[in-house]
Amino acid sequence: MIKIKNLYKIYNQNKADELQALKNISININKNELIILKGISGSGKSTLLSVISSFTKPTSGVVICDNNNISKLPDRHASIFRNKSIGFVFQAFNLIDELTVYDNIKIPLSINNNTDIENKIKTAIKQANISHKSKQYIKNLSGGEKQRVAIARAIVNNPNIILCDEPTAALDKNNSLRFINILKQLKKTGKTIVVATHDSLFDELDFVDRYIDIEDGKIKP
């Protein structure tokens, strides 16, 4: 599902503040695998997720995601690829406070000519366990509820790949455990999932397929 070969990401190349964020990364992630990406702050986790989702272009190397070679996708194609293939859950939720839960979840569906919008939202909102708040405004929700809306929005388009960047960083333990439980359910639907986190609640989960350690931009053997 995700094939990465000899990936380098260098920020500010050939400038005084040049920084090698990813160094010769090669990983294959199979369909329906759930991967936990671990590593200390600054090790390159967010950069790697950003490259996989085609927000960030690699400096060199090959990245193939969901049968798309995204290493050199022009921006317009990258956004089409993202909308179709990737669901992204951010630490800061990135929701629109002035819209309702329902309308936030609808956003990814407004980009293409979507059909059956009502049903898609219903399914996602249910999977993310937030149906009871569908008419509420985001600003009236708790942190845990906001994160569940963010999950619903990430899965509403039925993407094959779900990427989560520190998804529990703003949640208390109880809500983090609920998040982990939703991940477990999502894995059962066949999704390929990568979660970047340093939350120890993700350690030793029996439904995780692999833990990958990243240190100073390199995969630890």
Residues at the site binding ligand ATP, with contacts judged by CB under 6 A = 11-12, 19, 21, 39, 41-47
Pairing of strands 68-69, 218-219: unpaired
Nearer to Mg ion, 45 or 133 (CB): 45
Give yes or no for a contact between 33 and 1, defined as CB atoms under 8 angstroms apart: yes
108 binds, among Mg ion, ligand ATP, none (CB under 5 to 8 A by kind): none
Please state the closest distance from residue 154 (CB atom) to Mg ion, in A: 17
176 binds, among ligand ATP, Mg ion, none (CB under 5 to 8 A by kind): none
Nearer to ligand ATP, 63 or 130 (CB): 63
Question: Using CA atoms, how far apart are residues 185 and 217, in angstroms rounded to an integer?
Answer: 31
Give yes or no for a contact between 57 and 29, defined as CB atoms under 8 angstroms apart: no
Q: Please give the residue ranges that form the binding site for Mg ion (CB under 5 A).
A: 45-46
Nearer to Mg ion, 125 or 164 (CB): 164
Please report the DSSP string for 70-88 in residue order: -TT--HHHHHHHHHHHEEE
Please state the closest distance from residue 168 (CB atom) to ligand ATP, in A: 13
Please state the closest distance from residue 30 (CB atom) to ligand ATP, in A: 23
Please state the closest distance from residue 45 (CB atom) to Mg ion, in A: 5
- Cβ-based neighbours of 74, under 8 Å, separated by 6 or more: none
Q: Please provide the size of the chain in residues.
A: 221
